[in-house]
Structure 1
Amino acid sequence: MAGTLIDGKLIAKKVRGDIQKRVDKLKEKGVTPGLAVVLVGHDPASQAYVGMKEKTCIKLGIHSEVYRLAEETTQEELLGLITKLNNDPKINGILVQLPLPKHIDEGKVLDTIDPEKDVDGFHSINVGNLVIGKDAFVPCTPYGVIVMLEESGVELTGKHVVVVGRSNIVGKPVATLALQRHATVTIAHSRTKNLPEITRQADILIVAVGRANMITKEMVREGTVVIDVGINRVETGLVGDVDFEGVKEVAAQITPVPGGVGPMTITMLMHNTVLSAERR
């Protein structure tokens, strides 16, 4: 029997409805939330993501500024722009689209963003605060995953959550968020021995490795909730890190790709931007 689909578009629509009410309330007080997005270079995927963010801002009535910089932009020029945006009262959130060109130090750039405007949640202060359980901006994709689970009625307390992938952007923060909700958490990665043995222990399996169809039906126990964060372009189109057709036969609930986690990432970016405006 095929598992129930966790519809990211539907959940994102509901969450955006709540965000819209918060934007309207701020505007009644004379405050318009503002998001600045900085793109360096001409990566097609990054350009598409930036376009979607801009479009979503406009729909929700959030002030949007997009800075498209040349590939050869120096680190000093980029840091100068970020400093200017840090001091701009119209801007509540700053997002620098990753990846950056190789000649630019990503860590230095992210740590130059004002932590109170770091709506991507990548500044060292926000990362540290998240880990120790203090108030922090939460990275958008992991945050979206947790909201999806909550909206789908999936309880994390006491559950075994297996996260495949240990990136700073998804793997580590989503593991931290699950731990904060009283789950038992295992992080698996490229050096993990007997990966299928680990993944079959999961009540909730979250996969974020960037390898098409890596998780197969044989690696998933019947009744598991499966969240596929991966998005990979193959000859037939876009696929996740999970072999959807196979795994849906054993999963209790599963996210599709596309239309699963993706819509939640931009939604939580909008949430963080509005939250920043509410705090000022």
Structure 2
Amino acid sequence: MSTPAAPAPAPAPATAECQLIQGRPIAQRIQADLKTEIEQLRAQNVALKLVAVMVGENAGSTVYVNQQRKLADSMGIAYELMQLPGTSTEADVIQVVERLNADPAVTGVILQQPMPQQIAIRNIIEKLNPAKDAEGMHPNSLGHVLMGDAHVAPCTASAVMEILAAQGMNLYGKEVVIVGHSDIVGKPLTLMMLNKFGTTTTCHIATSQAHKLQDHLATAEVVVVAVGVARLIKGEWLRPGTVLIDVGINKVGDQIVGDADFESCKLKCAAITPVPGGVGPLTNTMLMKNLVALARAAHH
């Protein structure tokens, strides 16, 4: 019987030449600003309430729900979880969403994913009132992202933009490569980068299969990777001085690692987000920022 391999060591801190971008301090600054806004709304008799809809049991969703509740509590936001049986039909979930749409006490709704196979999440999202779309995933919300005038946007994509803004990054004319084209990160992020005049390329599985991913990365000044493939991006693929935002969260043995190979990438990067601790701490904060924006819009 072979001896199991020892787990790889935890990522070492970035070198002096490479800045490690920690998400928590950025999240805390945003939360402090949001608390001030929430107090101003409360002074106008506006109370905030976020409702999460979860269908069935999912360990990952339960973790997210607990994190959301804890953050909401700390910010003076009422939080309610509506957990439906795993056997619920699409019609059952739509009925719940329509009830929340009609409830004036509900500021925003988040649909916890994944949902069971019998439920098409897009059909549920389309039934949600855009004025209560706390995730920024309704077609109406995404249309405003396209137009560049959104007051809510998908949370993880927004988290990436907040990190770059905190770095003082001017995207105007920068070569930006986004690896991943999901509805919740890659696609909206491409639009958000374009709105900041980044010269934006979106890569995906077909780019990799065509053996062209390395060619695109070689010219990139800013790289965002969000594909869910552990340590996909290698340092030797990057140009020196790259800013790399790693959205990936992957479990490898006992470790949580990103979509970039941290150890080799930090040798090439001017700045890099760690996993965990980079984008993750900001995602739920952006959910609360969306909620405050919805409350402001509803009582403007």
TM-score class, shorter: over 0.9
Are 1:209 and 2:227 an aligned pair?
A: yes
Note if 1:257 corresponds to 2:272: no
Gaps of at least 5 residues in structure 1 are none
The partner residue of 2:154 within 120, 139, 156 is 139
Which residue is equivalent to 1:31? Answer: 46
Return the alpha-carbon distance in structure 2 between the equivalents of residues 189 and 87 of structure 1: 39
User: Displacement of 1:200 after TM fit?
Assistant: 1.4
Please tell me whether residue 226 in structure 1 is matched to residue 244 in structure 2: yes
Partner of 2:139: 124
TM-score when normalising by structure 2: 0.91
Distance 1:182 1:257 in 2: 28
What letter corresponds to residue 248 of structure 2 in structure 1? G
> Unpaired runs of 5+ in structure 2?
1-14
Number of residue equivalences: 280
Distance (Å, rounded) in 2 between the aligned partners of 1:233 and 1:129: 35
Amino acid at match of 2:80: E
1:274 to 269, 292, 295: 292
1:100, CA displacement in angstroms? 1.0
What corresponds to 2:89 in structure 1?
74
For residue 159 of structure 1, report the CA deviation from its aligned partner: 0.4
Deviations along 1:6-64, one digit per CA (max 9) or x if unpaired, are 11011001111101111111111111111111111111111101110111100000011
Q: Separation in 2 of the partners of 1:252 and 1:182? A: 21
Q: Which runs of 4+ in 1 moved over 3 A?
A: none
- Distance between the aligned counterparts of 2:149 and 2:174, measured in 1? 23
SS at match of 1:191: helix
Distance 1:41 1:239 in 2: 28
Alignment of 1:181-196 (within 5 A): 181-192=196-207, 193=210, 194-196=212-214
Question: How far apart are 1:205 and its partner, in Å?
Answer: 0.2
Is 1:242 the counterpart of 2:257 in the alignment?
no
Equivalence for 1:83: 98
> Whose radius of gyration is greater, 1 or 2?
2
Q: Percent identity?
A: 38
In 1, the alpha carbon distance for the partners of 2:246 and 2:40 equals 34
Query: Aligned-residue CA RMSD in angstroms?
Result: 1.0
Separation in 2, partners of 1:46, 1:208: 19
SS state at 2:205 partner: coil
Give me the whole-angstrom Cα distance separating, in 2, the residues matched to 1:219 and 1:91. 47
Partner Cα separation in structure 1 for residue 105 and residue 144 of structure 2: 26
Counterpart CA distance in 1 for 2:234 and 2:120 is 37
Question: How far apart, CA to CA, are the structure 2 residues paired with 1:39 and 1:242?
Answer: 31
- TM-score between the two structures when normalised by the length of structure 1: 0.98
Q: Does 1:64 align with 2:82?
A: no
Q: Distance in 2 between matches of 1:236 and 1:223?
A: 31
**In structure 2, the residue corresponding to 1:252 is in which secondary structure?**
strand
Residue equivalent to 1:52: 67
Return the alpha-carbon distance in structure 2 between the equivalents of residues 237 and 42 of structure 1.
24
Structure 1 residue 90 displacement after superposition: 1.2
Q: Secondary structure at the match of 1:205?
A: strand
CA offset at residue 136 of structure 1? 4.6
Aligned to 2:12: none
Superposed displacement of residue 119, structure 1: 1.3
Of stretches 259-268 and 65-74 in structure 1, the one that deviates more from structure 2 is 65-74
Structure 2 partner of 1:158: 173
